[in-house]
Amino acid sequence: MSTDMWSVIRFVVPSFGTALLAPLLDATDAAVIGRFGSVLDLAALSPAMASCDIICLCFLFLSAATSQKMAVARGSQQYASARTTLAELCCFAICCGLAVSCFMLWNYHRVLGVLVNPETLAAVAAPAAAYMRIRAVAFPVQLLQLVLSAACFGALRDTVTPFRATALGGAVNLMLDIILIAGLGLGTVGAATATAAGQLVAVLLLTHALRSNRRFDPARKAESFRKTSDELPLLTSPLGWLRSLRPARMLPLIAFAAPFMFFQFMQVVLMTFETRMGSAFGAMSLAAHQITYSMWRPLISLGNPIMDAGLSLLPAEKAMGGAAGRDRVRGLAQAIFLVAVGLSIATGALGFVLCRYMPIMFTANVAVAKEAASLALPASLSILALAFWYCNQGLMLATGRARFLALLYVWNIIYFVAGSSIVVACRLALYHSWCVFASMHVIFALIVSVVLRLPNGVFYRARVAQMQH
């Protein structure tokens, strides 16, 4: 096994656990509510969770920007710069989280109106709104978790600590799900409370880890602590974050993150259309959509570590410069792609089995379970394509092509809106909407794969060298 392949595998394996835990817990919320709540509570989770996912997706640029900035600082061994940048990013995350909290608390009904058609909204509005209000209060914590996890990835190349933090938070979430939903019958309120509590526990553990590191080594690898200026923890105190709250510090950070923000905005527009389509077939189909989504999302989230590997490993090697650095970047990119191939095959096959045979575990309603099982083929095709989708995204973002990637997302929006309009106009079923959804993922993965092999693409020089030999 090559050194590059081993580096990628060591990075992504713990990250697979981190990526899988969060959506698995959402699936657990859906399963517990489906078994101990009503079909309407289960249907309400779809737009409620999607609204929180969409808002979080808007701010995933925090994770991408943090990974890249921290990786560049590591590559150039600028520890003081890394500490300052992380303080600025933590401050920015808290400010963004507070702004989102205010927006969601005062506009949750408008958000639901965008995501759900009027007929279905009347049935699910109350439980969906209850979920969204509680999650809104916890958004500063959720965004801070994104930044702290990315700092572990980019600066420390530590994927074990974020996994432990997510696992502990997940254990708290699961315990509270059982108590609040199954025991006390709180439905969507219990699900939201359990999720928020789990996020808080994860942030506390990440904070402890980043206050215990030694330079660019995580705490578990560090030598004995010596109180010198060179061995200050990577994460400063909250007072240090407040000192960053100045235009002179924030504006350069926003300028750096702007391409990532634009890219995430295009993803949000697409996800909004996707969620709206899930509600176009009535409350029963929306419940079936939520069941399939609850199994689809954990499997596609396994692509996130592939993207994180690109964002965390490539910029550090690129910052070193020279021909050796460029060769190392290409070698790592090829190793990341090969890992994505294996992941695609494994998750695509598993996705078909789960989506075909597991829906009955989510609900006692036979009709809903049967409709969810009928979505197995397009759902598994989507899962298979999304491993390459995330791999390509990570390589594009790591090599400074966020603006171009965002422009390519315009194709996704046009394709999905046009295909969905045909489905609705022809009065087709939820199955056909999922077929449009899956084919969009396949086509986009192929388009970006070609772009990466054109001039300025990360694979371009490697391909030329192979042809010369």
Across the range 364-388, mean pLDDT stands at: 92
Spatial distance between the Cα atoms of 350 and 383, rounded to a whole number of angstroms: 9
Tokens standing for 118? Answer: 């009027």
Whether the model clears a pTM of 0.85, i.e. scores above it, the answer is no
With H, G, I as helix, E, B as strand and everything else as coil, classify residue 214. Answer: strand
Give the burial string for 144-180 (b: 16+ CB within 10 Å, else e): bbbbbbbbbbbbbbbbbbbbbbbebbbebbbebbeeb
Across the range 292-319, mean pLDDT stands at: 83
Contacts of 194 (CB under 8 A, 6+ apart): 29, 172, 173, 174, 175, 176, 177, 180, 181
Spatial distance between the Cα atoms of 310 and 324, rounded to a whole number of angstroms: 18
- Identity of the amino acid at 35: R
Longest dimension (CA), the chain: 70
Q: What does the pLDDT look like over 214-251, one tens digit per residue?
A: 777 665 555 444 444 456 788 887 877 777 776 666 67
Give the helix/strand (H/E) hosting 145: helix 139-156
Reported as a pLDDT band with limits 50, 70 and 90, residue 197 is: very high
Tokens standing for 91? Answer: 């401050």
Q: How many domains does the chain have?
A: 1
Residue 151, pLDDT above cutoff 60: yes
Backbone angles phi, psi at 71, to 5 degrees: -65, -40
Tokens standing for 50? Answer: 């999607």
**Is 436:420 a contact under the CB 8 Å cutoff?**
yes
Across the range 160-181, mean pLDDT stands at: 89
Give the burial string for 286-323 (b: 16+ CB within 10 Å, else e): bbbbbbbbbbbbbbbbbbbbbbbbbbbbbbbbbbeeee
Spatial distance between the Cα atoms of 102 and 106, rounded to a whole number of angstroms: 6
Give me the domain span that covers residue 11: 3-468
- Identity of the amino acid at 441: H
pLDDT of residue 140: 93
Residue 4, pLDDT above cutoff 80: no
Q: What does the pLDDT look like over 394-430, one tens digit per residue?
A: 888 887 777 787 778 788 888 988 998 899 889 888 8
Looking at every residue in the chain, the average pLDDT score rounds to 82
Contacts of 151 (CB under 8 A, 6+ apart): 66, 70, 86, 89, 210, 234, 235
Across the range 75-98, mean pLDDT stands at: 86
With H, G, I as helix, E, B as strand and everything else as coil, classify residue 217. Answer: strand
pLDDT of residue 227: 45
427 CB-contact burial (10 Å; exposed 0-12 / middle 13-18 / buried 19+): exposed
Nearest to 38 by CA among 357, 270, 364: 364
pLDDT of residue 148: 93
